[in-house]
Amino acid sequence: MNAIQVENISKRYFIDHQKKHGGPSGLKESLINGIQSLFGSKPKEATHSEKEEFWALKDVSFDVAQGDRIGIVGHNGAGKSTMLKVLSRITEPTTGRVTVRGRIASLLEVGTGFHQELTGRENIFLNGAILGMKQAEIKQHFDEIVSFAGIEKFLDTPVKRYSSGMFVRLGFAIAAHLEPEILIIDEVLAVGDAEFQRKCLGKMKDVSDSGRTILFVSHNLTAVQSLCNRAVFMNRGQMVAVGETGQIITDYMSKINQTSLIREWLTPEQAPGNDQVRIRKIELIPQFEVGQTRIDVRTPVKLRFEFWNFVKNAKLNLSMHFNSMTGETIFNLASPQIDANPGLITGEVDLPGNFLNDGTYTITMMIVKDASTVLYHLQESVMFEIDDYRGGVEWYGKWPGSVRPYFPFTIEQSEEVNV
Amino acid sequence: MTQETIIEHGRSQKNYWAEFWKSTELFWILAKRDITVRYKQTALGVVWSVVRPVLTSAILFFAFGKVAGLPFEEGVPPKLATFAGVLIWQFFANSLSQVSHSIVGNSNLVSKVYFPRLILPTSSVMVGFVDFLVGFALVIPMYLYYFFKQGFLPSWQLLFIPIFLAMAYLAAFGFGLLLSVMNVRYRDFAQLTPFIIQFGFYACPVAYSPINIENESWYPIYNLNPIVGIIDGFRWTLMGGHAPFRWESFIPSVIIISVVVFTSVAFFRKRENSFVDYI
């Protein structure tokens, strides 16, 4: 008996391309169209052609057996989150049909509906009710929740005074005590410190060992691998493959290992961004030795970026997260801040050789205003692979670690004893 | 037996209403949230629920009763009549603005969890209801005052208070629901709501009695405003038989409110599954 049966699900969105001068499309336009159609004349074609169809999901079908722990992997924009939203009934599919057997709870965010003014205690009951728990169930688990989150001392403090860590811990603790037959989880592990992430993963393992069905979306492939027995690989709204987790992850890795060292958009209309900033170009330029064609651990690289700024008198800086293939951020590079005016902003940064270990890396590019507000961020802006190079080392195992610095080492035999 | 849910485009769940009734706990906890949060970090707290209707009534009594000199019916204590009008009007107006804001104001919930969306507008009225009850407690000292002053006594009409409260609730719910749905697509309606409320304040007999206009030729049109019937009726319940029961405003009010509630619930049900795509 399948717990979830997904049959040919598609989801269409319309993207509004707003006119440059006309302002956002609103009531006025709709009213004018409405009145025109009342009098028999057709609404202007122009407004139609500005709406572009976009299929976030296209003809996706798969089954989830009772007790399965399914991971959904794929790039940003592959349709993973839309899939979860359809399954958790937050948005309806355009076509297709899903049959769900059993009580379902979804956790698309930690601490959904927390109210800043309410105390930890009040928020436990509020959030529990929102996630579909009965008040009696919450009372029963109350002490466990509090001790799991480790907030005993702050139970009667408004959550607006909580640190972000406490906030997240409390949110997860409540969700971890949900007892649905089917649990849907989206990227919640992306928050919290490493220690807490381990705790969460452990808790989720417990939940799955108790025979419940889990659907899990994450960029963190390590988490997917250790939690899920099956995986679905999605790309551009379509399901590419479904099967045993190890197999799917290998497939996924090989697909995404096709590196892309340059991303460029010619006009602001096509470029990713918003009305404040749009990214024009990001390029990774390897500084090869003569005769070299591939980046290896010794190769220095230069990163060059260009973006359009539309904000007057803005203090801007650029921040780059370097992420490993399993989704962890290895380090963050932040540029100095400049006083920017509308126009093109360019810059570059050099990464020395003998720095990153071999592997595949992606860069998340963030444009930050006033050192605090992220105006726009582009995940997986470029992706690059670093080959292994050992030089004189006569050892061929996997070199551990994220970085591989070449620090001058000295080693010598300082004394010799004759035996 | 495990429950089976089918998710499809435009499918209204057969067990929608069953699910709605099962969510009573969520209903109460959301209402409790709104009420608790209402007066957080205020020094006077719930006293505000008394201060607002009292001050409003005082200034209205001054402007309409003293300055304009508009009379109430024979034997009706004018201060009490003004206060009654303000109480029920504020209940309606607060509920209307809460309901119309309920979906957009809870967009963090709507975009992250599923529950019957109708819970949001229905529970958002509870804040206004608590305000009403607190303000209503003031009617008792006013009764004592008028009893000693002129031997005024309320009567069996008091038993009908719940009917007019329910009508005010349903009117706020019906109109607010339409606004809440439209507000998801076009925030223009968020701008419109306060204006409707301000406009309605003068278009309804909040601070005056229809006795001043009942001989006008347009009086039947005036009565098509469903809130007129609610205010007339509520005032009738409190006046111990001194204010007339006005069938001419009561009947249109009942009909219009019923129609609006049914159409707005249908409209809401049709749109609720796509809220998240536009919010």
Q: Which CATH number belongs to the domain containing residue A217 in this structure?
A: 3.40.50.300
- pLDDT of A353 over the 50 cut: yes
Give the highest mean pLDDT range of A94-108, A166-180, A363-377: A363-377
**Whether residue A281 is found in the same domain as residue A358:** yes
| Residue B55: CB atoms within 10 Å | 11
| Burial label, A379 (beta-carbon count in 10 A; 0-12, 13-18, 19+) | middle
Chain-chain contact of A134 with B25 (C-beta, under 8 angstroms)? yes
Q: Is B60 helix (H, G, I), strand (E, B) or coil?
A: helix
**Residue B106 with chain A: CB contacts under 8 Å:** 113
**Residue A87 with chain B: CB contacts under 8 Å:** 7
Give the highest mean pLDDT range of A247-261, B28-42, B217-231: B217-231
Rounded CA-CA distance B69/A196 in Å is: 70
pLDDT interval class at B167 (50, 70, 90): very high
Among A178, A158, A136, residue whose Cα is nearest residue B25: A136
pLDDT interval class at B171 (50, 70, 90): very high
Computed over every residue of chain A, the mean pLDDT equals 82
Q: Which pLDDT value is given to residue B149?
A: 85
- Residue B231 pairs in a beta bridge with none
**Whether residue A268 is found in the same domain as residue A233:** no
Residue of B7, B29, B41 lying closest to A125 (CB–CB): B29
Catalogue the E-assigned strands of A66-181. 69-73, 95-101, 104-107
- Cβ-contact B121, B99 below 8 angstroms: yes
DSSP-derived secondary structure letter, A337: P
- pLDDT of A342 over the 90 cut: yes
**Whether residue A102 is found in the same domain as residue A221:** yes
- pLDDT of B38 over the 50 cut: yes
Rounded CA-CA distance B257/B260 in Å is: 5
Pick the range with the lowest mean pLDDT from A4-8, A222-226, B198-202.
Answer: A222-226
pLDDT in tens, B108-163: 888 888 888 899 999 999 988 998 999 998 888 888 888 888 888 888 888 999 99
Q: List the 156-175 stretch of A: residues with Cβ below 8 A of B.
A: 158
Rounded CA-CA distance A237/A250 in Å is: 20
- Among all chains, which residue has been given the structure tokens 């629920």? B49
Note whether residue A412 is domain-resident.
no
pTM: 0.71
Tokens encoding A89: 């009934």
- Residue A296 pairs in a beta bridge with A387
Q: Which pLDDT value is given to residue B87?
A: 92
**Whether residue A192 is found in the same domain as residue A269:** no
Chain-chain contact of A27 with B7 (C-beta, under 8 angstroms)? no
A–B CB contacts, 8 A cutoff, strictly below: 106
With pLDDT > 70 as the criterion, what percentage of chain A qualifies? Answer: 84
**Residue B116 with chain A: CB contacts under 8 Å:** none
Arithmetic mean of pLDDT, A178-187 = 82
- Among all chains, which residue has been given the structure tokens 């989720």? A204
Give the highest mean pLDDT range of A271-275, A354-358, B90-94, B153-157: B90-94
Rounded CA-CA distance A260/A362 in Å is: 10
pLDDT interval class at A38 (50, 70, 90): low
Residue A349's domain spans which residues? 262-386
| Residue A116: CB atoms within 10 Å | 13
Indicate the residue among A208, A238, A256 that finishes a domain: A256
Of residues B172 and A193, more confidently modeled: B172
Judged by a CB distance cut-off of 8 A, whether residue B2 touches chain A is yes
- Cβ-contact B268, B261 below 8 angstroms: no
**Whether residue A235 is found in the same domain as residue A275:** no
Q: Which pLDDT value is given to residue A26?
A: 63
- pLDDT of B166 over the 80 cut: yes
Q: Which pLDDT value is given to residue A47?
A: 46
Q: Which pLDDT value is given to residue A178?
A: 81
Q: Which pLDDT value is given to residue B170?
A: 95
ipTM over 0.90: no
pLDDT interval class at B254 (50, 70, 90): very high
Cα–chain-centroid distance for residue B109? 24
**Whether residue A233 is found in the same domain as residue A96:** yes
Q: How many residues does chain A have?
A: 419
Q: Phi, psi at residue A163, to the nearest 5°?
A: -75, 160
Note whether residue A348 is domain-resident.
yes
- pLDDT of A107 over the 70 cut: yes
Arithmetic mean of pLDDT, B156-180 = 93
Indicate the residue among A237, A256, A275 that finishes a domain: A256
Q: Which pLDDT value is given to residue A345?
A: 93
pLDDT interval class at A45 (50, 70, 90): very low
| Residue B271: CB atoms within 10 Å | 17
Residue of B5, B186, B276 lying closest to A100 (CB–CB): B5
Instruction: Provide the number of structural domains found in chain A.
Output: 2
pLDDT interval class at A33 (50, 70, 90): low
User: Which of B33, B34, B110, B120 is best to mutate for the A interface (most A CBs within 10 A)?
Assistant: B33
Of residues A21 and A414, more confidently modeled: A414
Note whether residue A130 is domain-resident.
yes
Q: Which pLDDT value is given to residue A22?
A: 45
User: How close is the nearest chain A Cα to the Cα of B158, in Å?
Assistant: 36
Arithmetic mean of pLDDT, A319-338 = 88
**Whether residue A204 is found in the same domain as residue A97:** yes
> What b/e readout covers A160-183, taking b as 16+ CB neighbours within 10 angstroms?
eebeeebbbbbbbbbbbbbebbbb
CA distances A326 to A114, A199, A363, B257, Å, are: 30, 18, 13, 58
Note whether residue A409 is domain-resident.
no
Catalogue the E-assigned strands of chain B. 4-8
**Whether residue A242 is found in the same domain as residue A334:** no
User: Which of B13, B106, B111, B112 is best to mutate for the A interface (most A CBs within 10 A)?
Assistant: B112
- Residue A383 pairs in a beta bridge with A260, A362
pLDDT in tens, B55-87: 998 898 888 888 888 888 877 888 888 999 999
Rounded CA-CA distance A26/A18 in Å is: 10
Arithmetic mean of pLDDT, B1-26 = 77
Pick the range with the lowest mean pLDDT from A218-232, B43-57, B112-126.
Answer: A218-232
Arithmetic mean of pLDDT, A354-366 = 88
Note whether residue A417 is domain-resident.
no
Arithmetic mean of pLDDT, B192-210 = 89
User: How close is the nearest chain B Cα to the Cα of A28, in Å?
Assistant: 9
User: How close is the nearest chain B Cα to the Cα of A126, in Å?
Assistant: 6
Arithmetic mean of pLDDT, B211-233 = 89
End-to-end CA gap in chain A: 74
Judged by a CB distance cut-off of 8 A, whether residue A118 touches chain B is yes
- pLDDT of A198 over the 80 cut: no
Arithmetic mean of pLDDT, A101-114 = 82
We report the CATH number of the domain holding residue A361 as 2.70.50.60
Judged by a CB distance cut-off of 8 A, whether residue A215 touches chain B is no
- Cβ-contact A167, A115 below 8 angstroms: no
Note whether residue A406 is domain-resident.
no
Residue of A13, A85, A181 lying closest to B2 (CB–CB): A181
Judged by a CB distance cut-off of 8 A, whether residue A211 touches chain B is no
> CA B97, B165, B137: angle at the middle one, nearest 5?
95
- Name, in order, each residue with C-beta under 8 angstroms of A387's C-beta and a sequence gap of 6 or more: A294, A295, A296, A297, A358
**Whether residue A298 is found in the same domain as residue A242:** no
User: How close is the nearest chain A Cα to the Cα of B30, in Å?
Assistant: 7
**Residue A92 with chain B: CB contacts under 8 Å:** 7-11, 273-274
* Cα-only R_g, chain A: 26
Judged by a CB distance cut-off of 8 A, whether residue B25 touches chain A is yes
Chain-chain contact of B114 with A92 (C-beta, under 8 angstroms)? no
- pLDDT of A19 over the 70 cut: no
pLDDT in tens, A380-392: 788 888 888 877 6
> CA A367, A370, A376: angle at the middle one, nearest 5?
25
Arithmetic mean of pLDDT, A241-259 = 74
Judged by a CB distance cut-off of 8 A, whether residue A13 touches chain B is yes
User: Which of A117, A124, A212 is best to mutate for the B interface (most B CBs within 10 A)?
Assistant: A117
Judged by a CB distance cut-off of 8 A, whether residue A30 touches chain B is yes
- pLDDT of A306 over the 90 cut: yes
Report the C-alpha dihedral over residues B53, B59, B65, B66, rounded to 10 degrees.
150
Note whether residue A69 is domain-resident.
yes
Among B182, B181, B171, B178, residue whose Cα is nearest residue B128: B171
With pLDDT > 90 as the criterion, what percentage of chain B qualifies? Answer: 30
Arithmetic mean of pLDDT, A341-348 = 93
Indicate the residue among A238, A256, A274 that finishes a domain: A256
**Whether residue A248 is found in the same domain as residue A268:** no
With pLDDT > 70 as the criterion, what percentage of chain B qualifies? Answer: 97
pLDDT interval class at A46 (50, 70, 90): very low
**Whether residue A233 is found in the same domain as residue A267:** no
Q: Which pLDDT value is given to residue B233?
A: 92
- pLDDT of A34 over the 80 cut: no
- Among all chains, which residue has been given the structure tokens 């009947």? B251
Evaluated on CA atoms B45, B50, B56, B58, the torsion sign reads: negative
Evaluated on CA atoms A42, A44, A47, A49, the torsion sign reads: positive
Note whether residue A44 is domain-resident.
no
- Cβ-contact A131, A113 below 8 angstroms: no
**Whether residue A91 is found in the same domain as residue A220:** yes
